[in-house]
Amino acid sequence: MTMPPNHGDFNRGVELFNRAHFFDAHEVLEDVWRSLPRDRPTRRHLQGMVQLAVAFHHESTGNHVGARSVLERAMCNLNGADRSFPDLDLDRLRTELELWRRYLDDSEGAGAKKDGKKKDEKKLDGRDVRRHNAPALPRIMLRR
């Protein structure tokens, strides 16, 4: 696998992402990203991983517009990442991200009020009921 020079930190960032510690994953992966030479494709692919963590941090705080925007950029930056991370199951990840893209599109779509809430949306213990309809959180896994 073409790995960043400090792959231990990369693995730690992926582990944090998979445990839904998105802010911390972003911090760790961003440090790895900064350490790479600007002219390497792996740097752009790693930027996509950083952006995934940012997108899901936004989603976890209810910022669906920000999540959707950053998710789109992350998916673009992950194009071709199979060369940089051949041991990762990026096909599975892309499938999971596509479900999230559609979910976030629906969150922003028709019927949404200015504050991002739909008319018929209710709260359950202070959380949006819509959250219960969200896809499972994506995971960055090794190929089988």
141 falls within a domain: no
User: For residue 120, what pLDDT band results from cuts at 50, 70 and 90?
Assistant: very low
Look at residue 77 in the predicted model and tell me its pLDDT.
97
Q: Is residue 2 part of a domain?
A: no
**DSSP-derived secondary structure for the chain:** ----TTHHHHHHHHHHHHTT-HHHHHHHHHHHHHTS-TT-HHHHHHHHHHHHHHHHHHHHTT-HHHHHHHHHHHHHHTTTHHHH-TTB-HHHHHHHHHHHHHHHHHHHSTTB-TTS-BTT--EETTEEGGGGGSPPPP---B--
Q: List Cβ<8 Å contacts ≥24 apart for 120-129.
A: 128/62
In a domain, 33, yes or no: yes
Q: Are 108 and 102 in contact (CB under 8 A)?
A: no
- pLDDT tens digits for 70-117? 999 999 999 999 999 999 999 999 999 999 999 999 876 533 444 544
Kindly state whether residue 139 falls inside one of the protein's structural domains: no
Q: Bigger pLDDT: 122 or 7?
A: 7
Distance CA 89, CA 72 (A): 19
**Full domain range(s) for residue 85:** 7-133
Residue 129 within a domain: yes
Residue 129 — very low, low, confident or very high, per pLDDT cuts 50/70/90?
very low
**Total number of domains in the chain:** 1
Is 140 inside any structural domain? no
Mean pLDDT for 16-40 is 96
- The identity of residue 137, as a single letter, is L
Q: What's the CATH code of the domain at 38?
A: 1.10.3450.10
Q: What are phi and psi of 101, to 5 degrees?
A: -60, -45
Query: Is the residue at 63 inside a domain?
Result: yes
Banded pLDDT at 35 (limits 50, 70, 90): very high
For residue 9, is pLDDT > 90?
Answer: yes
Structure confidence at residue 5 (pLDDT): 52
80 inside domain: yes
- Burial environment of residue 60 by CB neighbours within 10 A (0 to 12, 13 to 18, 19 or more): middle
Quote the CA–CA distance of 49 and 94 in Å, as a whole number: 12
